[in-house]
Amino acid sequence: MINKVVSGAEEAIKDIEDGSTLMLGGFGLCGIPENCITALVKKGVKELTCISNNAGVDDFGIGLMLQQRQVKKMVSSYVGENAEFERQLLSGELEVELIPQGTLATRCMAAGYGMPAIFTPAGVGTEVAEGKEIRNFKGKDYLMEYAFDADFAIVKAWKGDTAGNLIYRSTSRNFNPVMAMAGKITIAEVEELVEAGELDPDQIHTPGVFVHRIFQGANYEKRIEQRTVRTRG
């Protein structure tokens, strides 16, 4: 079995350079690669293009990279929770491409499935469609959207094995599996790293062939963005 294990986040991201295009998994703060983000902030790489559904919050997730001005361009679907992001966007410091969430996911999927483009009805008749090719199928208009082309995909899984197989937990799955398939180099951080053979092959979400580097992360905060509860009784 091919061994994909690296020592930790710093080794995993060591060849990410200024100007790289990164995919980062997660939805809100759920299922984000915390250890790799910390390492990217420490390394101080700049001029990054980040493809991620959200941009973190001011003091967590991709928000930490925005604070250090490491991001040149964000490609996201929703950025409403991040005041520093909105400030950099409205002042023109940050380039932003907002795209529909399903288009974001499916452009990742297309890259992972080896397809150059997809057709989606999302955004037809809106500013998202500007400059894009429209094709009509069975009487309905669709936009042609290209597969993403990312240098690195950085994902977070619950469990992984030394062969790079990944299992996600609950809704922290979100964009992680499609991004894992889409990167030229895919880095996976996991809460628990086990030997090959310990995970049931029937339960694997991401086969190890898509993962180039894997490590067990440390000190997961797994911050909750909106803590909503009901009272007993």
Residues that bind other proteins (CB under 8 A): 27-31, 53, 76-81, 86, 89-90, 96, 98-106, 108-109, 120-128, 158, 169-178, 205, 222-232
Kindly tell me which of 28 and 208 has the beta carbon lying closer to other proteins: 28
Contact 175, 53 (CB under 8 A): yes
Positive or negative torsion for Cα 186, 187, 192, 197: positive
Joined together, the tokens standing for residue 111 give: 């890259």
Q: How far is the CB of 150 from other proteins (least distance, A)?
A: 15
Kindly tell me which of 8 and 121 has the beta carbon lying closer to other proteins: 121
Q: How far is the CB of 57 from other proteins (least distance, A)?
A: 10
Q: How far is the CB of 189 from other proteins (least distance, A)?
A: 15
Kindly tell me which of 34 and 161 has the beta carbon lying closer to other proteins: 34
What is the Cα–Cα distance from 195 to 22, expressed in whole angstroms? 28
How big is the CA angle at 211 (ends 11 and 214), to the nearest 5 degrees? Answer: 40
Kindly tell me which of 7 and 92 has the beta carbon lying closer to other proteins: 92
Report the C-alpha dihedral over residues 192, 194, 200, 204, rounded to 10 degrees: 60
Q: How far is the CB of 93 from other proteins (least distance, A)?
A: 14
